[in-house]
Amino acid sequence: MSTSQFHIIGHELCPYVQRAVITMLELGIPFDRTDIELNNKPDWLSKLSPTGKVPVLIVDQTTAMFESTVISEYLQENGAQAFHPSDALDRGLHRAWIAYGDQILDVIATIIYRTQTETEQVEAFGKIAGMFAILDKQVSEGPYFAGSQFQLIDAVYATVFRFLPALGLLATMDLLAACPRLRRWSHALAHRSSVVSAVPNQFDVMLRQFIADQSSFAAAQLR
């Protein structure tokens, strides 16, 4: 096992793991990383993760913390650099839009794992397009969500937008059709070095294969 202060247990493609990893890269926090297989979880995971999910952050080789946003907030509170707005109202609003990002990730997970028919899938894509259109009105002139500073909310949406190439192979609609700001924002996020480094180079290929291995309508489309 690692002797580092921070050791993250993750999965190569998981957006929630990326959220914690991008946070550590942005804050300059050294860490070790162990990726597991979700369909063949190691026995020791259940001792660390009460939900059986990743990410888990092992702190000082003793304490296991779970839930990606909690992990990211803990890391920034424990460090020297802010990764959230300093104003309480702005911070609250960022947390609300992060929760909104989690809801979009839930719909994406539904498409990857659960939808069984084209009708269900079209409905799910419509939901994402509608949520993106609402989000578009919240985004600043750029380059990031609230302006020039890359913050936790940017880390969260970088992982949401990373699904777009794979979703583009499945959807018959352009999910960003009504979203000029999201188009620009997603482009800026994709080029951020922490975002690039949080996943393997072959992410898009690996994600396509991961989706094809499920038992959903999307999986059948990709096979």
Closest approach, Cβ 152 to ligand GSH, in A, equals 12
Alpha-carbon distance of 113 to 212, in angstroms, equals 10
For ligand GSH, the binding residue among 5, 29, 32, 53 (CB under 6 A) is 53
Interaction between residue 55 and ligand GSH (CB under 6 A) = yes
Q: Which stretch binds ligand GSH (CB under 6 A): 62-70, 111-119, 154-162, 178-186?
A: 62-70
Q: Which stretch binds ligand GSH (CB under 6 A): 63-71, 78-86, 196-204, 214-222?
A: 63-71
Interaction between residue 11 and ligand GSH (CB under 6 A) = yes
In the bound state with ligand GSH, the residue whose beta carbon lies nearer, of 42 and 52, is 52
Give the helix/strand (H/E) hosting 34: strand 32-35
Q: Which residue is listed with tokens 């936790």? A: 152
For ligand GSH, the binding residue among 21, 54, 135, 170 (CB under 6 A) is 54
Q: How many residues bind ligand GSH (CB under 6 A)?
A: 11
Q: Which stretch binds ligand GSH (CB under 6 A): 51-59, 121-129, 143-151, 186-194?
A: 51-59
Eight-state DSSP code of residue 177: T
* Helix residue spans in the chain (DSSP H): 15-27, 45-48, 68-78, 88-109, 118-136, 152-161, 164-170, 180-190, 193-197, 203-212, 217-222
Closest approach, Cβ 18 to ligand GSH, in A, equals 9
In terms of Cα–Cα distance, which of 62, 65, 2 is closest to 34? 2
Alpha-carbon distance of 65 to 75, in angstroms, equals 11
The burial of 51, by beta-carbon neighbours within 10 Å (0-12 exposed, 13-18 middle, 19 or more buried), is given as: exposed
In terms of Cα–Cα distance, which of 34, 25, 151, 161 is closest to 91? 151
Closest approach, Cβ 38 to ligand GSH, in A, equals 5
Closest approach, Cβ 53 to ligand GSH, in A, equals 3
Note whether 132 and 176 are within 8 A (CB): yes
Interaction between residue 212 and ligand GSH (CB under 6 A) = no
For ligand GSH, the binding residue among 14, 155, 176, 182 (CB under 6 A) is 14
Q: What is the binding site for ligand GSH (CB under 6 A)?
A: 11, 14, 16, 38, 52-55, 67-69
